[in-house]
Amino acid sequence: MGSLAVVVFFLCCCYTAGENEPIQTFVIPHSHMDVGWVYTIQESMHAYAANVYTSVTEELSKAADRRFIAVEQEFFRLWWDAVATDSHKKQVRQLVKEGRLEFIIGGQVMHDEAVTDLDDEILQMTEGHGFLYETFGVRPQFSWHVDPFGASATTPVLFALAGFNAHLISRIDYDLKDTMQKNKKLQFVWRGSPSLKEKQQIFTHTMDQFSYCSPSHLPFSNSSGFYWSGVALFPDPPKNGVYPNMSLPVTKETIQAYAKTMVDNIKQRAAWFRTNHVLWPWGCDKQFYNSSVQFNNMDPLMKYINQNSKVFGVTVQYATLSEYFKAIHQANLVWEPRGNEDFLPYSTEPHQAWTGFYASRNVLKGVARQASSQLHAAETLFTLYRVRFPDGPVTKDWALGKLRALRWAVSEVIGVYQPLEQHIIIYNPLAWNTTTIVNVTVSFANAAVFDDDGQPVPAQIQMSAQSNVSYDLFIVVELGGLQHRKYLIKSSEKNCSGRKCGWIYEAKRVLFERRHIWASMKRGRRLLPVISECYRLMFDQDTNLLHSITYLQEQRRVLVTQDFWEYRANGDTKAGPISDNYVFSANGSAVRAYEAVEMEVIPGKIVTEIRQRFYRRESDKDYTYSITTRVPEYFGSRLRCHRLEQTYSLGPLQLNTEVILRTSSSLRSNRTLYTDDNGFQMMKRRYRKFSNNTIARNYFPMVRAAYIEDELSRLVLVSDRAHGVSSQANGQLEVMLHRRLWNDLPWNLGYNLTLNDSSVVRPTLWMMLGSIGVTSRLFQREAIELQHRPVIMPIDQPQRPWREKEPRESSAVPSVVLPPNLHLLSLSIPGWNYSSDHDVHLSHINSGQDLHSEPDFDRVLLRIMHLFEEGEDPELSKPVTINLKDALQGIGEVKELEERSLTGTWDITRLQRWNWKTAEDFKTNNNSCSSGGDEAFTVTISPKEIRTFFVHFVSRNFWASPSSVKTDDH
């Protein structure tokens, strides 16, 4: 071992606080308020949340030493806008200025870290930060991520990009936390991204085994411990102010017992950390709604401890989180670095693996992702409209109000038949050119499609997979980045002929009889090929299951089958571990979920569709599960053929059933799985054996993507919503798609968390198979393309009968196209009205002027993300230098560009985060735009970087009066 390593080891392991130094305790008052959990936001505001901020504001103003941290900004914002009086607002401004009321994290919510998408994490934090900065001039610099069920490695990266100096987590695997406590390794410097490494490292504090709540059990009082205000009541707070489980007040008779309990707990915690500073969280879920009771009991208790500090060996003080972290930082220790490993999955005990919620409420997860995608499209469209038509007819305040409402809804979590002739607009919300197939549901079996120049568009029509009275119309569309085009759909009850029918193909289905899974022991004798430009798929007619896939570029065949299996759950707490909304506890290995499979194939010129229907019993009339696989067949354009688009139908399930899609292959993957952390980066998941609950503890969250691989090939799945995923056997990838559960645990029954979900769900996965090199270049983009598919908007019916047009030059709007390894993460008008100069903004706030100014409609928020990791691809992993003025000219002429922090509140040139010492003491500089000439618009984006800018465009108005616009010939 080198001499430097010896010194570092000594510093890390042998530091102890002075024996005569009292333990310095930072008592941090807080209230954890889940936004939208069980109760609605409105119910929570009425029952307790509004009272938290009213009473805390009043109580902090009574004593200069009191403190409080505000975490979830959704409740604070609602209180500020609708409840707070002018007097309250004046008090809050003073408390914030003095640092006694501190905003932590600053997002709308404390987001989940396992199944939340990168886009939504950034959105909710950006909205909260914008409100806080515009209103108070403050920028949160610390996190308090105490309640997510596991901790991802992406979250600390995002917090570092937002300007945070330290990160705090709590819920990690119980046995890992125990080991870290014993070895005093609950604090470390986290390098969450293998590409960004020390550039975005952040000091991280892991809460000890007592988590974020004060110790609750007191032998001389009741179970609520240091919560003298009791437990919040729904739906209405009690009129007399008396709540259940109010602890004994602090009196002469009880103060010594309270002090001993508190001091003993402080000393127990101090033994697990390297300095003599102890973070002592005071609060828990839904606390401090009657904070006068809280402070009036804690004040004398703390005074008593401090008066006897020499006896106790402890001092206590009210503190904010920043005061605690400043003390740790000033200790000037050398900290152990941690790589990009995350803390997933999360278990609280051997049979309590919190991996079930990865797949719970599949419909809601789909709606949330769809809402996020629609918001992204709406943001980019509104931005394009504002830059090109600043004086257009759409009321800008109305539009921004609608967007803000959707931003908040997405932060919290939330098929149309066409008439005979219908105009639709199809919009590509990505900054890449795309040629793809969109599906429109129509009510007639005959249809033709024409573009806005009157030219026929390739299309295919067939009976819908979901209904016997509707039809799927597949349309081939070619769109530039951020480009939309108008199309005309002409439906008819009769067959048509000639050019007026356009380029339409009517696909007919071929039905294969239902096969019992055990009817034939001989398999692979009669194989049905389905061939595209990329793949040869073989289906076994003896089982009606997929048999193999050959990727034609390298002529390598991989045996692949897909079918459905079920885990059977226990619902009786007396019979052993149970599964519930959060927890997955398998009651044995999975069992096959069907007896027979039926198949039909619909060969087409645009797409070939294979429909497999799985029957629980061979004699059942209706199927329980299905797989619809769409294989692109169109060779006339740049249509991507690498993806096999699969949609599933699942349910209704039997009670206490958890269903998986099992994809089994001949890949020698050694049960090693790769899944994404929040859509940002891929994590390697090695299979581990445990003494209990091995199946559940080898499940991981899949937000956008998962894959298995061997030396030659990789099998990838990308998803339209979050799921749980595992590799329980060599070459196997199983995705938990749906759950229906009921159990008799009182806590679950009381909060309706048993998940008796009888819905039918229809998630989508895209599958890719190929060499590691080929799939590495593809799957990040494919995951984003699945998330942000072209948006189809019906707009009107033609006012006059359609007639053919002569071909003319394209009337498409300009496109915006980024290099293939860069993704336009955000393009929006946030509406904040604050100066980009921090000193000017603070001067405005401190002037006492009316701060309710008009939104700024000229400031555009732009984020660009490099999709690839360092070394992932020989070309696409290289840093990209791009001139943003040139890249954005399809939107308008850029006149000003300034780089900001992730949420926009910091000028990147003024952002200096704390430096935390590690064995490898790096000092890094932030990249920023050059200033002057064309270089002012040229930036270099390195692997996995997310760079954020404010953009101002030259004001031009392309809007013309209706009388000067040429009427549409349709």
pLDDT in tens, 436-481: 999 999 888 889 999 988 899 999 999 998 888 899 999 999 999 9
Residue with tokens 């928020």: 861
What's the start-to-end Cα distance of the chain, in Å?
80
Tell me whether residue 492 is in a domain: no
**855: helix, strand or coil:** coil
Judge whether residue 269 has pLDDT over 80. yes
Q: What is the mean pLDDT of residues 265-288?
A: 97
Listed in sequence order, the residues at least 6 apart from 577 whose beta carbon sits closer than 8 Å to its beta carbon are 351, 352, 570, 585, 587, 693
pLDDT at 404: 84
- Note whether 893 and 956 are within 8 A (CB): yes
The span from the CA of 964 to the CA of 970, in Å, is: 18
Q: How confident is the model at residue 968 (pLDDT cuts 50, 70, 90)?
A: very low
- Report the candidate in 214, 209, 247, 217 with the shortest Cα–Cα distance to residue 230: 247
Q: Are residues 872 and 764 in the same domain?
A: no
**Percentage helix, strand, coil, to 5, in the chain?**
25, 30, 45
User: What number of other Cβ atoms are within 10 A of residue 521's Cβ?
Assistant: 6
What rounded mean pLDDT belongs to the chain?
Answer: 90
pLDDT at 331 (0 to 100): 96
pLDDT at 157 over 90: yes
- Structure-token pair, residue 109: 């919510």
Q: Is the peptide bond before 419 cis (omega within 30 degrees of 0)?
A: no
Give me the catalytic one of 147, 208, 451, 580. 147
pLDDT bucket at 12, cuts 50 / 70 / 90 = very low
Structure confidence at residue 465 (pLDDT)? 87
Does residue 733 lie in a domain region?
yes
Question: What mean pLDDT do residues 203-220 have?
Answer: 91
Contact predicate 73/41, CB 8 Å: no
| Residue 476 located in a structural domain | no
pLDDT at 496: 60
Answer whether residue 29 is part of any domain: yes
Q: What is the dihedral of CA 256, 261, 264, 270, to 10 degrees?
A: -120
Domain count, the chain: 3
Strand pairing class (545-551; 535-540): antiparallel
Q: What is the DSSP string of 344-379?
A: -S-EEETTEETTGGGTSSHHHHHHHHHHHHHHHHHH
Domain of residue 896, CATH code = 2.60.40.1360
Residue 399 has pLDDT above 90, yes or no: no
* Same domain for 832 and 778: no
- Residue 751 is predicted with a pLDDT of 87
Provide the pLDDT for residue 20: 75
What is the pLDDT confidence band of residue 16, given thresholds at 50, 70 and 90? very low
Tell whether 966 is covered by a domain.
Answer: no
Domain-ending residue, one of 344, 370, 388: 344
Task: Indicate the SS3 state at residue 13.
Answer: helix
Q: Which CATH number fits the domain that encloses residue 711?
A: 2.70.98.30
Q: How much is the average pLDDT of 858-878? A: 97
pLDDT of residue 2: 39
Q: Are 913 and 172 in contact (CB under 8 A)?
A: no
Q: What is the pLDDT of residue 252?
A: 96
Residues 761 and 823 in one domain: no
pLDDT at position 787, please? Answer: 96
CA atoms of 427 and 100, how far apart (whole Å)? 48
- Of 44, 50, 155, the closest CA to residue 105 belongs to 155
Residue 737 per-residue DSSP state: E
Q: Same domain, yes or no, for 747 and 882?
A: no
142-158 mean pLDDT: 97
Residue type for 276, please? N
Range with the lowest mean pLDDT among 95-109, 156-170, 309-323, 499-513? 499-513
CA-based torsion, 389, 393, 398, 399: positive or negative: negative
Percent of the chain with pLDDT over 70: 90
Report if residue 451 sits inside a domain: no
Amino acid at 229: S
Which pLDDT band holds residue 397 (cuts at 50, 70, 90)?
Answer: confident
Which of 55-69, 235-249, 840-854 shows the highest mean pLDDT? 55-69
Looking from the CA of 263 toward its CB, the CA atoms found within 13 Å total 21
Cβ proximity of 113 and 159 under 8 Å: no
Q: Are residues 878 and 940 in the same domain?
A: yes
**What separation in angstroms does the CA of 965 have from each of 228, 393, 451, 959, 970?**
70, 14, 19, 10, 15
Q: Is residue 772 domain-shared with residue 827, that is, in the same domain?
A: no
473: left (phi over 0), alpha (psi -120 to 50) or beta: beta
Domain that includes residue 728, residue range: 510-788
pLDDT of residue 961: 38
Instruction: Examine residue 239 and state whether it is found in any structural domain, yes or no.
Output: yes
User: How sure is the predictor about 605, in pLDDT bands with cuts at 50, 70 and 90?
Assistant: very high
The interaxial angle of helices 154-161 and 118-136, nearest 10 deg, is 30
Going by pLDDT thresholds of 50, 70 and 90, the confidence category of residue 965 is very low
Q: 967 versus 221: which is more confidently predicted?
A: 221
Distance CA(128)–CA(138), nearest Å, equals: 11
Residue 123: predicted pLDDT: 95
Last residue of a domain, one of 301, 320, 344: 344
pLDDT over 60 (residue 15):
no
Judge if 117 and 248 occupy the same domain: yes
Region of 303 (left: φ > 0; alpha: ψ -120 to 50; beta: rest) is: alpha
Strand partners, 475: 438, 459
Q: Are residues 847 and 759 in the same domain?
A: no
Distance CA 18, CA 792 (A): 68
SS (H, E, C) 331-344: CCCCECEECCCCEC
pLDDT value for 408: 76
Q: How many residues are listed for the chain in this entry?
A: 970
- 692 and 838 in a single domain? The answer is no
42 Cβ neighbours under 8 A, 6+ residues apart: none
Looking up residue 118, the CATH number of its domain turns out to be 3.20.110.10
* CA–CA separation, 478 and 434 (whole Å): 6
Is the pLDDT confidence value at 801 over 80? no
Cα dihedral 235→236→241→243 (10° resolution) = -10
pLDDT range class, residue 419, cuts 50, 70, 90: low
Worst-scoring range by mean pLDDT, 341-355, 531-545, 789-803? Answer: 789-803
Please check the confidence at residue 279 and state whether its pLDDT lies above 60: yes
Same domain, 148 and 247: yes
Helix/strand/coil (H/E/C) assignment for every residue in 409-452: HHHHCCCCCCCCEEEEEEECCCCCCEEEEEEEEECCCEEEEEEC
User: Among residues 328, 344, 360, which one ends one of the domains?
Assistant: 344
Q: Region 619-627: what's the mean pLDDT?
A: 97
Most confident range, picked from 424-428, 573-577, 733-737: 733-737
- Give the start-end residues of each E strand in 444-582: 446-451, 459-463, 471-479, 484-492, 504-506, 510-516, 527-531, 535-540, 545-551, 556-568
Q: What is the pLDDT of residue 957?
A: 64
Task: Give pTM, 2 decimals.
Answer: 0.93
The arithmetic mean of pLDDT across residues 395-399, rounded, is: 86
- Spatial CA neighbour of 121 closest among 155, 166, 76: 155
Whether pLDDT at 914 is above 90: yes
For the beta carbon of residue 446, count every other beta carbon within 10 angstroms.
17
**Predicted confidence (pLDDT) per residue in 60-86, tens digit:** 999 999 999 999 999 999 999 999 999
Predicted confidence (pLDDT) at residue 931 exceeds the cutoff of 80: no
Both 324 and 220 in a single domain? yes
The sheet carrying 434-442 orders its strands as: 434-442, 471-479, 459-463, 504-506
Cβ atoms of 438 and 150 closer than 8 Å: no
Query: What's the pLDDT tens digit per position in 183-192?
Result: 999 999 999 9
Residue 873 annotated to the active site: no
Average pLDDT over every residue of 804-812: 53
827 and 774 housed in the same domain: no
Query: CA 224 to CA 220: how far, in whole Å?
Result: 11
Indicate whether 450 belongs to any domain.
no
Give the separation between CA 767 and CA 644, rounded to whole angstroms: 5
Tell me, what amino acid is at 182? K
